[in-house]
Amino acid sequence: MDKLFLIIKREYLSRVTRPSFIIATLVTPLVFVLFFVIVGFIFSYESDDTKKIAVLDESGILKGALKDEKGFFFKFEQQPLDTLRKNFKASGYDAVLVLPKIDNLFSKDYMVYYYSKGQPTLDVEVHIKDRVRDALRDYKIDALKLERKQLEALNTSVDVEPEPIEKGGQDATRLTGAIGAGIGFIMGFIMYMAVFIYGTMVMRSVMEEKTNRIVEVMVSSVKPFQLMMGKIIGVGAVGLTQVLIWAIMIPVLMTIAQVAMGFDAEQQMQMSQGASNLNPEDTQAMVMAAMAEIGNVNWGLILPLFIIYFLGGYFLYSSLFAAVGSAIGDDMGEAQTLTIPIVIPVILAIYIMIKAVETPTSSLAVFSSIFPLFSPIVMPSILASKPPAWQIITSVVVLIGTSVFFVWLSGRIYRVGILLYGKKGTFREFAKWIFYKE
């Protein structure tokens, strides 16, 4: 155990003190925050281009009124279209908008004409279509003598409120499914990233030590299996350190960026409310209900299980990456070929997770939550949906058993591959190395 601890300590300290690790750990949150600041700036940007548009309302649906807004300035003209087109340069207009007469009030199609030097941009087209569509709707309501209240009554919002079938059973809200899906997706994605990033890091670490032949010195003092386990645990500790630092830095930097850039959270909420036409009181009540639903999630069960699946998935896949790293030198092309069978289950698991979050009780979700190559990613994504106890227990037992088996299997490959030079590792060679005797 002392030798294993020394290997873990060496692996951990040698990595966390590297300038590349320190720079990547500190710069990544800055890049992350900068990315969101730029995205926020882009989405809040409004074009400074202005359009002065002459309007010929032959149909009379605009009734001489069209508001100037967001760089659009409209003026109703009584001159014929030919005159406007002839004097277009001297008039100062950028375009002429013509609304022809409406012959059939029951027609669902209506074409307006936009005369300009070039094609209208997408924002111009959307702005005009929205304003004309609203005005046309009001025009048809008046022309057909329809009651506005009766028309508004046709727009009914439908929600599904879940209720327990048994009296006194646990009651859920309409947000329960959405909250569970959101938590599940986040947890599954974290697992996906951890397996990929830190599994690959283990493989690269093994390749480096094999290439510079440090491993030949180390195996004279410790067993190859101890060396492999020390590397896997050490790199895992490095990964947890990095994630912990990011979990602290990113919220702090995001808060600083909001203050420095003048982002007003309340204003953003009001803008989103305006876009979705939600009542502010309804929005506040929905936020409070979502927070209450998050508080009702059984975190006492989910968090320990998440750690178990994290460790199980990490040991399972990292041991396979370590085995592949021991069989090759510095040939990354060969490494990519050998890691394909490892990568494919991880990619499949992330796609299954997306469907499992939507339908956590489906046969695909249940099978994948137990199958050990998928369960580290799929099961955390459906824990918030409260799967049955037998499913969780079976999944944990199968995952632990499979992880122990794969660590043993990878150790058999590692002990031969790490000391073998000049011979490329293949899947057939892997099978032979497993049965080599000490």
DSSP state of 69: B
CB 380 within 8 A of CB 180: no
Q: Which whole-number Å values give the CA distances from 19 to 33, 198, 360, in the listed order?
A: 22, 18, 44
CB 76 within 8 A of CB 106: no
CA torsion angle for 64, 70, 71, 73 (degrees, to 10)? 10
pLDDT of residue 363: 93
Q: Which whole-number Å values give the CA distances from 155 to 109, 116, 145, 150, 152, in the listed order?
A: 22, 38, 19, 9, 6
pLDDT of residue 275: 47
pLDDT of residue 372: 93
- Identify the three-state secondary structure at position 99: strand
Does this model's pTM top 0.75? My answer is no
User: For the chain, which residues score pLDDT lower than 70?
Assistant: 1, 47, 64-65, 168-177, 215, 219, 261-284, 329-333, 423-424, 438
CA 247 to chain centre: 17
Q: Give the tokens for residue 262.
A: 């003048």
CATH of 51-151, one of 1.50.10.20, 3.40.190.10, 3.30.230.10, 3.40.50.1820: 3.40.190.10
Q: What is the layout of strands, in order, in the sheet containing 51-57?
A: 72-76, 51-57, 95-99, 113-116
Domains of the chain, by residue range, sit at 51-151, 172-435
Q: For residues 113 and 97, what is the distance between their CA atoms, to the nearest angstrom?
A: 6
CB 55 within 8 A of CB 77: yes
pLDDT of residue 123: 81
